[in-house]
Structure formats: C-alpha cells, structure tokens
Structure 1
Amino acid sequence: MKQFYPIGQAGTPWSENEKETWLAQTEIKRSYNDLVIIKIDALRDRFQVEQYGALSINSERYPLFGVRNKNWHEDKPVVLITGGVHGYEASGVQGALKFLDTQAEAYSTEFNFIVTPCISPWGYETINRWNPFTVDPNRSFHPDSPSEECAQVMAYVHNHSQNILAHIDLHETTDTDESEFRPALAARNGEDYIAGNIPDGFYLVGDISNPTAEFQTAVINEVRKITHIAPADEDGKLIGEKVVQEGVINVPVKKAHLCAGFTNAEFNTTTEVYPDSDNVTDEECNDAQVAAILGALEYLKNCR
C-alpha cells in the first residue's frame, strides 16, 4: 500500500504514538472566545444561556453552552438545533448564532428551542473534524460515547426534553474533506485512501428510517433562495449515496451514531453547506444555515 499521509505507516492502524504525533501538530487558528463565546454572552438578556459542561483538554478555554428561549412552556413543541459537531465547519456554528440573534424570538411563541451552537470548540479553534483524541464526534452519539463532546450535549438535551419534535444539525462539506480529513481517517484506520467527490452545492442528509420527504423539500426550497443546490453526480449520487429527491440523500443516522439521530425527533435532517464554491461568501453560507432552519420551522408551523 502506497504511503499517502505523513503520519504512520500505510496499512497499519495508528497506535497512541501516532495519535499523539497528530495532536502535537495541531495548532490554534481562530478564537472560540472572540468568535463564539462573546456572541453567546450577547444573547443573555434575551435567552437562557446555560453552561452544560467543558472539555477536559482545557476546561477554562472550552466551556460548552446551550441556549434556550426564555418563554419556555412545556406544552410547546421542542426544536433542537445543533452546530459545530465538526468544529471545522464554521457556518454551522455561525449560522446557529445568527438564527438566535435574528429569528428565534419571532418563532418562540410557537416553539421551544434548544440550541447548542458549538459542540466541539477545540475542533473549532484548530479547524479539525476530530476531537483531540482522533475521535469523530459525528460518529459517536451513543451511550458510553468515546467523545466527551457528544456525551455532554446528549445529557444536556435529555435533561431538558425527552420529546423533541425536530432536530436540525448544521454541517458543511468542504474541499478539505478530501485533501485532509478523509485521508487522515484512512491512515488512522490502517486502510487505503480512495478518493471521493465533493458535491458542488448545498444538500441534506435525511434518515433512511424516517425520510420525511416533504419536510426535506421545504428546507431545500428555502435554502435555494440563498445558494445553489448540489446536483447528483453521473451515478445519481452525492458522497456515494443515492439521491432520493433533489439535494437529499438518506442514511441510517442512528446506526451510524450521527448527531441527528440521538433523539427520537419526528423530523430530523443534517444540512451540508458548500463553503468552497466561488459563488458564495462566508456570510451567505451562514445565511444558508439560517434559511434551512426557517424552511423547517415554516413547514412545522403549517403541518401542525
């Protein structure tokens, strides 16, 4: 097997030594405090801001926050919005914060909101998919999770509600998925790296056991006002999965232990913004995440 990644030996899974080498090469590239915590603090007069935990690698630098509407009533349906499961996917974090700042109050007469804007703050600062221990949080939402990011947010959400109507998990698919993160994954596992394709545009990942096609369509139609929807490739697929409707693939989210599957929400979806397009700005990517949430909420309003 040809060597394709600078850490480890091709065909051999990483030991703790390789994982420590990987961690030693990471560096802080942006500020969680300046770009996230300050924005969360600015919401305190309008929302309930709660610290639900912290990361053990540096508990003072990486506190974990959830945000809920102040006019919380048990008889209203609960909508969960999660961002920053993969810390490097910036628009998920900033989109969740922008939704809180600009739209959440208008919808809080009808819905309760639980919003966790940045589940993986170390990953946000170092622009990484993994946590410091080479664990992918978005494959780790299950009991006895090896990811403290997952364990702490699951406990927080379940503490506030066992009955989630909808869960919208905000993500990106970036060019670095192929240039860095998927090669690193293959190297860590001692597998060969097989190159894939990055979809050119926005798409959704639905739940194969709960596809909610009309709900997904409502989200896509709102997002297309902001950015282009990813077309299927020549095989009718996106990231190797069959396109079941425009801009939508379905996967077994619970079996894969994805964030969007850790509740029993009646409606769930994972957004995938494409920030590396020449046709979008960072702010438009944030707006696309907000649009996805609004498309979901308008659908939920009209179907109840």
Structure 2
Amino acid sequence: MNPNKKRLRRTMMFLNAQKPGLIKDPYIYKPDSIMLDLEDAVAENQKDAARFSLYHALKTIDYHGCERVVRINGLDTPYWKEDIRCAVAGGCDAIRIPKTESAQDVKVVEEEVIQAEKDFGREEGSVLIMAAIESARGVMRALDICEASDRLFGIALSGGDYTKDLQTHITGTGIELMGARQNMVIAARAAGVQCFDTVYTDLDNMEGFKQDVQTIHLMGFDGKSIINPRQIDIVHEIFTPSQKDIIFAEKVVREIDDKKAKGIGVFTVDGKMIDIAFYDGAKRTIELAKASGVYKGDL
C-alpha cells in the first residue's frame, strides 16, 4: 500500500492551476494538501494553458512536503484523459475525480492512471485517487465508490452541485448537507478510507466557518476543502488534538495496558468510566498528534 494513503489531510486548499501566481508558493500557508484545479476554475478555452501551467509547476516548484492533488475535468468531457497524463507526467501525488457517481467511474480513472504511470516512468501505485461526490446518486453509492480501488484514499463532498441536485441551496446552517455528510462518513469508515467536507464560501463569516468546522469534526470527518489561506489555521486548530486531549489519551492507553495485564476490564480515568472500547480512540488521538507535530510524549 502507498504509505501516503493515510497521511494527514486536515486541509485541502483549492488553487486555479491556470494562474502561476497562485500556485507558485501556497506551501507558505502550510495546508496539508493543495488542490490544483483543472476543472471548474478554468474556462473551456483555457484548458491547454492550464495544463501547461500545471506541468511546469509540478516539475519546477518545491512544495515542501505539501501533497499535490490535481482535480481533473469530468469524465463526460473530452479533457480528463489528457489531464491525467499531464498530472502524472508532472509528478502529482493524487488525482481527484469530480462528479463521481459509481465505482466504475473510479475504475475507469484508475486504468488511465496505471497507463500514465507506465508511460512516464512513475513507480507503480505512486499516484493515489480521491473521489468527489456531488449528487444524490453519488451519495447513495458512497460505499461502492469507497471500495472501488486500493488507490482511493478518500471521498469528498462537493456541496454546490450536491445541493443543486437536491433542488435546494447552500445555507449558513448546513442542514441541507447533513444527510450527505453523515452517509459519506459512515461509508468512508466502513471502507477504511478518509472523508473530507465541502468548502465554506462565505469568507467574511469566520465565526460561521469555525462553527461549520467544529460540526464536521464532531461528525467524524478527516478534514475540509478550503478556498482561502485565512481558513487554514482554524481547521488545523480544531482538527489537531489539544494538550488536554493528548494527556488524557496517554492515561487511557497506559491504564488499559496495565489493567488488561491484571485482568481488569472496566476502570476510571479522571473520573470517567473507561473500558477497552476507548483504546483505539486514544491511540488515534496520539497518532494524530504525532502527525500534526504536537506530540511530545513517549508512546
């Protein structure tokens, strides 16, 4: 398995691949991943220019460990195959499939990625895939999509197209997204892949954005798509374990290890009843803290 499949992805920042000024140094803002967009952000008559800009950036810019994901054009367009070849040849880390509605969509893209890896001398399996779900049909098939390929590291909700398909619209409350969000998180967890939330477009409402991020964190998402560097710190703060969380997780792990050896199944930590079911969650907290660079312990 590609070791990057489970890497930290709290933030995925969208960038127009056609604009060199935007894609030359986004790593300075420290998103976990950047999303170099060849789809919606690029006009029909600028697709070739965007690919040229993308290839040049991937080949010449050091992104300092930031994951480079390329959003290709839809499978119903004449552009997507060349998008994949350009991205793979340039050295991208992953391909994002837009408007995914079936496992077959993932398999078709995987075939093109495999061929591009061979043609351009990339290591087999080095290019990962993620699938954007943007319709009611896609949501209903989320588990099939998640299980379609070993290369697929996660799924992402695209709220704009999804709400249009539902014949509603984006609101400040997020109520219109809740069904899709929960269904997708459940599917992702069942398949063992990651799940990412849609963008929050009201850049003047940072308090609303913070509340939105807190909600999706509690729902179980791994991260959020973003459109502005100002949003990064808020997401990272919420998705990074606090020192209080870390200390409690360490206590849980140590206590469970000790109590298991003594044949004790239920006990208390800081006044809270704990049993073996808490173990994996505590270990995940510690692993996330390590990946986020905030762990100073010895577990």
Whether TM-score is above 0.5 comes out as no
**Higher-RCO chain (CA-CA 8 Å, sequence separation at least 6):** 1
Q: TM-score, normalised by structure 1?
A: 0.31
